[in-house]
Every structure is written in C-alpha cells, then in structure tokens.
C-alpha cells in the first residue's frame, strides 16, 4: 500500500485484481463498444467470443427448457455452464455486474454432474446442471460475502447460506455472485470495491438496486436464472430497470437464513424482513424456482419457512379452469393507479390505462378499479421507521473501519442516528399489524374498496400497480420506494411484469397540476419530467402484480394469464378505450 493510498483503496485494488485474474484471458473482447454506444445487450453475440452453439444455448432457451434438455441428455451441463460463464465474463467487463467469480469451480461441477447423469441415467434434482447466479449477500463456502464493504473483503464464508445449500442439492451450478450497492440500502448499485453496475440496455440509466448486478447479468444473458433479495423493492426495481420478471415472496416462503446483510444478528427481526426470490426472463422460470425449492421442504433448511410445498398452496378456481360458463370463475384483477403520495408521470399513467383497457376486453378476466390510497399513504411512514431500527450505525462502523467513503446516492440520504428504542419499535410494529388487518378488506367486495353488483362478498385474486411513479431514470436518480416497500411492510408477494418498451410518443404527455403544495417526492418527480426526457428511452415500462400474503402460487399463475393477455401491448402503439 502506498503512503497516499487509504486502507479501503488498497483492499479494493487487491479485490479487483483477484476478480480480474479469474476471467480467462481469451474471454476478453478484443474491441470494446464505441463511446457513444449506450445499448450493449448485443455485444456478447457480436464480439466473436461465443460459438454458434454458445449463442444458441444462451439466447434460445429459458431455464425451463434448459433443465429439460439437460435431463434428457440432449445438452451437456459443461457446455451450458461454459456458455453462460463466458457470457457472464463479457457482461462483467461491460457492466461491472459481478463480485465473486467461480467459473473454474462451476465447470468442474458441471462435468461431475454430466458424469453422474451418464452413469446413473438420473439427474441430481430439478435444477440438474443449470447455471444460476446469486446476489453477493449469499454466503458460499470459501468465497467472500463482502456486500461492497472493504472491511468485509478477504473474509471467506465458512458455511453456505440455506438457499445456496438447497440450490446445490437441487443440482444447480452456481457460477458467480453479483454486484450490489454499499450498505444494500440504495436503489443504484454502486460500491467502492466493485464499482457501479451499468444498465446494459442504456448505460445512462440506472440498473437498480440492491440486486442491480443480478438484473444486469440476467439481462445480458450471462445467467439464465438469478437470485436476489428484497426488503424494500430490491428484486422488483432491478427487474424493472432491466426489463425482467422478478418475484418477491412473503417472508417464510423461501429460505433466507445465513445471509450477510451488514447488520448485527437479530436486527432484521425487529424491522421489515428481507426475502430472497428469483429474477428471470420468463414467469415460468420463476415458477420453476419456487417449485424446485418448495418441493425440497425448505423448512428443514430454515426454521422460519412454512411447512408447505408448492403443490400444497391454494389455487383458486379462476386459475385452475379455463371455463367461462360462470363469471365467478374469471380471474379478478384490481387496478391501482397511484399510491396517493407521488403521482405517476405520464408514461406510467398511460401504460396503466392501456393495461386496464386491454384486460377489460378479455372475457376471462374481470377488472376492478381499486382505490386504496387511504391505506397505501400510511405505509411509507411506518416502513421508513422500521428501516431505521439500528440507525445505520453498523453500516457506518463498517465504512469507518477502513476510512471508506459513502456512495453518491446515499450521501444525502443516510446518516448515523440513535438506535430506535424498544418502545418505538413496539409502536411501529403495532401500527404495521393494525394496517395489515385493515388491508384484509381490499380482497373482498364487501370490504368497501370496490363494488360488486352481484351482492356477494367475492374475492380479488391479484391487483396491479406501478413499481415507481416514473420510468427507469438516469444513474442515481431513483425517486421513491413507496410503491414497492409497502408490500414488504404488509408481507405480500409482489412481482415485476414487463409490459412494453418506452416509446418516443410516451415522452409527450403533460403533467396535470395535482397539488398546489406538492410534497418532496412529488417535486422530485416533476423535476425528472422537466429534465431531458429522452434519457428514459431504452427502458421498459413494467407493472407490479400483488397477491395476498403467502399466495405465491396464485400470484405466478395469475401472472401467466396476465402476460398472455397483455402481450399485444408490446406491438400496439396505442390501445383504444373499451366501448
């Protein structure tokens, strides 16, 4: 370490060199994209490093087809894993999406899995031979889980996180870990050790956080299935930023134990519980993930998991049968257009209107206009309080141990505060519990939040709302998490569903004067719209789909129906109102 080099800088330099050494020299593109090229999604295909077979493996399959091809021995795991490792290496060099690189170990494991299948004729499990990436917070024996802190580097894990252990037992091959923001509390994935994750669809846009590396890697097809975590939107926001499907389950559905989250043990149990979930290109790949984990009895690996397999979860008649003979069997979908705190910008308003009009034309779907702003507007205050249980003191302790500076997005948002008292935590939890109880009313027509002309207390299956009040913004420009963190507070399963690209025509709308005295979030949102709107191009307009607590199977099967119904919006430039 030079005299002018701070401790954190020395650690970061060593860590980056270690990372660079793990990428084979012949996996480096000979030429880089020109400086004015912002969309680098096609570079892996164009750079000449991938064979035709490797391009076909990484681009023409999702995880669901790959596991079938692998189990049938039409593809070898070593070929599939090598293809995704090469593509992940290219993605890393373009977007800084990786932390721990395990290409060598992954290829060795893939060969062993191929040998087992050849010898026995039976796959190890439902994910046999499938390459999967995981967020840096997951612990893997012998690898760091530094989560971007210099002070946590070069301290390899001695045990696997519960979910890592389950993925391995299901036959998966973990080939890399992915980049995150310092503290895991930012919506733009930047840290001083591994750098900033870039959005491969538009390098000027944020890749999101805190699972930003997963979003960028899966978008570049350097991984066919990624695993992130979410405590306020950290799966759904990167999924939106990268045009992917991302699912946040309820706590207790997927094992979370054994994570490194930069806080003292037990702290998380006092606030809002973080959860792990998939990021993928297709809804069915997310269902593959949930089924593979659920059928392994996750409660054996994590004592906080519910003893319920995937097949044991409730599925309502609207999702089981295609019959339209009874209107009660139609999928019942609520439309929530605003959270009552920050008014969505015109592109978000437009896509919500398009979705509503399109679904109303589908005879198999019943659309309910749902106004729950009186409830949603209460969520953010409670959530913000519970996010600050330890006053960010552990985070600052970890940074100060090596004189590490805070990241730009956090610099004006995070500071040391006193730990919350037991009385304050008790009060916040009581308010959260009361709000959860009140939210039960939105799911039935007799609750007063939507009308039912039949007079029966019918049930809502899912509802749709924005993920943010704006499209994917520029780096370090995300506004608010109120549209996502509400469902962490309520412990509802929630997922990102991509709808269509942002178009030039989306940038022409005008803001209505919603309030004479707008709050800070509203002012910031208007500032985003008053700036250079062309920065939004390259992004994908997505929505959030939400189901009741621990009804992940209902959520995913409803998403499949919604995806099919809304596919027309990817092509149509406008959807006419229903007559």
The pair of three-digit structure tokens given for residue 12, joined into one six-digit string: 């970061």
Phi-psi region of 386 (alpha: psi -120 to 50; beta: other; left: phi over 0): alpha
- SS3 state of residue 138: strand
Task: Tell me the sheet residues that pair with 543.
Answer: 497
In the DSSP assignment, the letter for residue 418 is P
Confidence of residue 574 (pLDDT cuts 50, 70, 90): very low
Q: What are phi and psi of 368, to 5 degrees?
A: -120, 125
Confidence of residue 518 (pLDDT cuts 50, 70, 90): confident
Question: What mean pLDDT is predicted for residues 492-500?
Answer: 98
pLDDT at 319: 67
**Residue 563 scores a pLDDT above 50:** yes
CA angle, 541 then 547 then 548, to 5°: 155
pLDDT at 1: 60
Question: What mean pLDDT is predicted for residues 364-368?
Answer: 96
3-state SS track over 298-324: HHHCCCCCCCCCCCCCCCCHHHHCCCC
Tally DSSP H helices, then E strands, for the chain: 19, 13
Question: What mean pLDDT is predicted for residues 154-160?
Answer: 98
In the DSSP assignment, the letter for residue 251 is T
137 annotated as belonging to a binding site for a ligand:
no
389 annotated as belonging to a binding site for a ligand:
no
**Catalytic positions, please?**
135, 210, 234
First-to-last C-alpha distance (Å) of the chain: 71
Whether 182 and 411 have beta carbons less than 8 Å apart is answered as no
Query: Taking all residues of the chain, what is their mean pLDDT, rounded to a whole number?
Result: 94
How far apart CA 329 and CA 334 sit, in angstroms, is 15
Comparison of pLDDT for 367 and 315, the residue scoring more: 367
Burial class (CB in 10 A: 0-12, 13-18, 19+), 455: exposed
Question: What mean pLDDT is predicted for residues 306-317?
Answer: 88
Q: Which residues contact 362 (CB under 8 A, 6 or more apart)?
A: 565
Whether 333 and 563 have beta carbons less than 8 Å apart is answered as no
210 annotated as belonging to a binding site for a ligand:
yes
Question: What mean pLDDT is predicted for residues 129-143?
Answer: 98
224 annotated as belonging to a binding site for a ligand:
no
279-289 pLDDT per residue, tens: 999 999 999 99
Confidence of residue 30 (pLDDT cuts 50, 70, 90): confident
**Residue 96 scores a pLDDT above 50:** yes
515 annotated as belonging to a binding site for a ligand:
no
- CATH superfamily to which 317-490+502-570 belongs: Amidase signature (AS) domain (3.90.1300.10)
**Residue 575 scores a pLDDT above 60:** no
**Residue 321 scores a pLDDT above 90:** no
Quick count: other Cβ atoms within 10 Å of Cβ 383? 25
Share of the chain above pLDDT 90, in %: 90
Say yes or no: domain 42-300 is CATH 3.90.1300.10. Answer: yes
Q: Where does CATH 3.90.1300.10 sit in the chain?
A: 42-300, 317-490+502-570
**Residue 159 scores a pLDDT above 50:** yes
pLDDT at 326: 47
**Residue 320 scores a pLDDT above 70:** no
Burial class (CB in 10 A: 0-12, 13-18, 19+), 394: middle
């Amino acid at each position: 370490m030079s005299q002018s080099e701070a401790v954190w800088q020395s650690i970061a330099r060593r860590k980056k060199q270690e990372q660079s050494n793990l990428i084979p020299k012949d996996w480096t593109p000979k030429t880089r994209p020109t400086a004015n090229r912002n969309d680098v999604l096609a570079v892996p295909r164009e750079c000449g490093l991938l064979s035709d077979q490797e391009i076909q493996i990484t681009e023409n399959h999702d995880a669901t087809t790959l596991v079938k091809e692998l189990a049938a021995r039409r593809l070898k795991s070593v070929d599939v894993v090598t293809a995704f490792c090469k593509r992940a290496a290219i993605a890393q060099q373009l977007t800084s999406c990786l932390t721990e690189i395990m290409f060598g170990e992954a290829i060795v494991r893939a060969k062993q899995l191929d040998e087992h299948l050849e010898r026995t004729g039976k796959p190890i499990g439902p994910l046999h031979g499938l390459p999967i990436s995981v967020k840096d917070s997951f612990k893997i024996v012998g690898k760091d889980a530094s989560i971007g802190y210099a002070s946590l580097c070069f301290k390899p894990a001695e045990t696997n996180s519960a979910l890592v252990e389950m993925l391995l037992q299901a036959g998966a091959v973990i080939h890399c870990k992915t980049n995150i923001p310092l503290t895991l509390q930012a919506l733009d994935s930047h840290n001083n050790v591994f750098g900033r994750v870039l959005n491969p669809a538009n390098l000027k846009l944020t890749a999101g956080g805190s699972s930003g590396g997963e979003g960028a890697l899966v978008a570049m097809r350097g991984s066919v299935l990624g695993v992130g975590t979410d405590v306020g939107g950290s799966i759904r926001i990167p999924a939106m930023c990268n045009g992917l499907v991302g699912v946040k389950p309820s706590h207790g559905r997927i094992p979370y134990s054994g994570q490194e989250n930069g806080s003292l043990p037990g702290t998380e149990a006092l606030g809002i519980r973080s959860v792990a979930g998939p990021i993928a290109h297709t809804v069915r790949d997310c269902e593959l993930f949930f089924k593979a984990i659920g059928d392994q009895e996750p409660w054996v690996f994590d004592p906080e998991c519910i003893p319920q397999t995937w097949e044991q979860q409730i599925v309502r008649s609207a999702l089981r049968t295609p019959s339209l003979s009874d209107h009660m069997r139609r999928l019942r979908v609520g439309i929530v257009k605003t959270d009552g705190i920050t008014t969505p910008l015109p592109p978000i308003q437009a896509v919500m209107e398009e979705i509503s009009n399109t679904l109303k034309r589908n005879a198999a779907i019943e659309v309910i206009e749902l106004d729950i702003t009186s409830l949603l507007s209460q969520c953010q205050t409670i959530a913000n309080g519970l996010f600050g249980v330890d006053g960010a003191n552990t985070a600052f302790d970890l940074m100060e141990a090596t004189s590490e500076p805070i990241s730009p997005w956090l610099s004006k948002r995070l500071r040391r505060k006193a730990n919350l008292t037991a009385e304050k935590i008790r009060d916040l939890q009581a308010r959260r519990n009361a709000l959860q109880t009140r939210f039960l009313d939105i799911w039935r027509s007799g609750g007063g939040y939507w009308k039912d002309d039949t007079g029966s207390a019918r049930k809502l299956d899912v509802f749709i709302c924005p993920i943010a009040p704006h499209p994917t913004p520029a780096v370090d420009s995300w506004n608010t998490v109120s549209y996502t963190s509400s469902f962490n507070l309520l412990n509802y399963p929630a997922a990102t569903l991509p709808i269509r690209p942002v178009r030039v025509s989306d940038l022409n709308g005008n803001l209505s004067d919603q309030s004479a005295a707008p709050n800070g979030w509203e002012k910031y949102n208007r500032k985003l719209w008053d700036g250079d709107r062309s920065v939004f191009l390259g992004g994908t307009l997505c929505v959030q789909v939400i189901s009741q607590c621990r009804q992940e199977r209902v959520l995913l099967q409803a998403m499949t129906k919604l995806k099919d119904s809304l596919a027309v919006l990817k092509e149509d430039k406008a959807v006419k109102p229903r007559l």
